[in-house]
Structure 1
Amino acid sequence: MLIRKFGYIRVSSKDQHEGRQLASIKDLEIDDRDIFIDKQSGRDFQREQYQLLKRILRQGDILYIHSLDRFGRNKEEILTEWNEITKNIQADIVVLDMPLLDTTQYKDSLGTFIADLVLQILSWMAEEERTRIRKRQREGIDNALQRGVAFGRPRIQISEEFKQIYKKWKRGELTAVKAMEEVGVKKTTFYRLVREHEKELKINNQERRGKYNGI
């Protein structure tokens, strides 16, 4: 039976680099076509490359992972996927930075017990780290909000360009669609700006009339 070796790599976002993991996998002389890389969160296993890899794995194949947290960060799902690969598919998993998590080496009952115990502990640690990260992020956001930091896209303001396009639109020289294209905004934003600008014009007119009447 032909045994194939595969590598799986995960980084949390497109901005992170997979170089360290890739180097450790390539040291095993695994073909590039057999290395699968996902760039997304480890909160679940609904990842395109991982799911493709799992469909390819066959009995006796070996899957290499740099570290358990690169496999996933949810304890229950880590254990479910681990058992799916090692027990149902009957492929092996080797976690490179944790020698005890090497199912090619520990085939007897004691070895399996030790590996399962270590897996339980490490998967719990991976989930705890994810929880701590989320807590720190939440605390950082809360602190920023208390300081008045605004999140999300900057609110589009009325510009001189908008005022000129508004005049042309009101005179019938531009359709609403064309005006939106000229300003570079969507319908809801365009009409919000229109309402704000008209309110501003109304206030300015009232102020001017007040000054004129006071003379």
Structure 2
Amino acid sequence: METYGYVRVSCTDQNEERQRISLNAKGIAPQNLYIDKQSGKDFARPQYQRMLKRLQPGDLLYILSIDRLGRNYKEIQDQWRTLTKIKSVDICVIDMPLLDTRTAKDLMGTFIADLVLQILSFVAENERDSIRKRQDQGIVAAKARGVRFGRPKKPVPEDFAQIVGQWERRELDMREVLRLCDMCRATFYKRLREFRTVNNTKNESGQC
């Protein structure tokens, strides 16, 4: 029997140290500790998939909390079933002792573990939805205060009007225009549309 540990953080700038410390305390060999630093939106995770291939019947897998197995109720349930039924491995959820398949072999123990799993999976999904809603509300509030999101807008050069004029008169080809503006083609055309819109507005205002 081999003992494994799995750690997941949802993005590369999160610290996995808390999970790592808890798993190291279980005496897991370094080569049996698998860590994914990426979104949990699906299970195309390289380390998790690599671990699944190594797991053999009778092996033991430690995770710190149930939400390391998935983002929502269905994913957690599916992965639990894959690990315990298809791979025939034991799972121990460190922060929830009732979810330890080694001690839930009888009918009552299995019933309690399944019930706890369903409740915790549901709670994990609800908490994730609540976090997402709070984030969305925060973004709406920030936008109302004038906070801008996304990459900064690429500025146009001071002589953009002159460059456009030369291009329209075919004195410059597109490659030279893009070099002078330090833009890709799509950005240039976007800025060109904005430039023409502003000019048209000014011309219409001047005619009034």
Structure 2 length-normalised TM: 0.84
Q: What is the CA distance between 1:200 and its match in structure 2?
A: 6.3
Paired AA for residue 39 in structure 2: S
Paired AA for residue 155 in structure 1: K
Count the aligned residue pairs.
Answer: 207
Describe how 1:18-37 pairs up with structure 2 within 5 A: 18-37=16-35
Q: Which residue does 2:3 correspond to in 1? A: 5
Give the one of 104, 123, 140 matched to 1:106.
Answer: 104
Q: Which residue does 1:45 correspond to in 2? A: 43
Q: Which residue does 2:63 correspond to in 1? A: 65
Paired AA for residue 14 in structure 1: T
Q: What is the CA distance between 1:26 and its match in structure 2?
A: 1.6
Describe how 1:1-215 pairs up with structure 2 within 5 A: 3-160=1-158, 162=160, 166=164, 169=167, 174-197=172-195
Change (3 A) 1:181 1:31: farther
Determine the C-alpha separation between the residues in 1 that align with 2:204 and 2:74. Answer: 66
Q: What is the CA distance between 1:73 and its match in structure 2?
A: 2.8
Determine the C-alpha separation between the residues in 1 that align with 2:51 and 2:119. Answer: 25
Determine the C-alpha separation between the residues in 1 that align with 2:11 and 2:108. Answer: 38
Determine the C-alpha separation between the residues in 2 that align with 1:72 and 1:151. Answer: 28
* Gap regions ≥5 residues in structure 1: 211-215
Change (3 A) 1:137 1:199: closer
Cα deviations across residues 70-121 of structure 1 (Å, max 9, x unaligned)? 2223112111110111112111111111111111222111111111111111
Paired AA for residue 28 in structure 2: I
Determine the C-alpha separation between the residues in 2 that align with 1:42 and 1:202. Answer: 48
Paired AA for residue 109 in structure 2: G
Q: What is the CA distance between 1:42 and its match in structure 2?
A: 3.0
Of the structure 1 ranges 85-94 and 23-32, higher mean CA displacement relative to structure 2 is found in 23-32
Paired AA for residue 86 in structure 2: N
* Gap regions ≥5 residues in structure 2: none
Change (3 A) 1:194 1:45: closer
Change (3 A) 1:172 1:96: same
Of the structure 1 ranges 172-181 and 139-148, higher mean CA displacement relative to structure 2 is found in 172-181
SS of 1:45's equivalent in the other structure is coil
Change (3 A) 1:106 1:175: same
Among all aligned residue pairs of Structure 1 and Structure 2, give the percentage whose two residues are the same amino acid: 48
Of the structure 1 ranges 166-175 and 134-143, higher mean CA displacement relative to structure 2 is found in 166-175
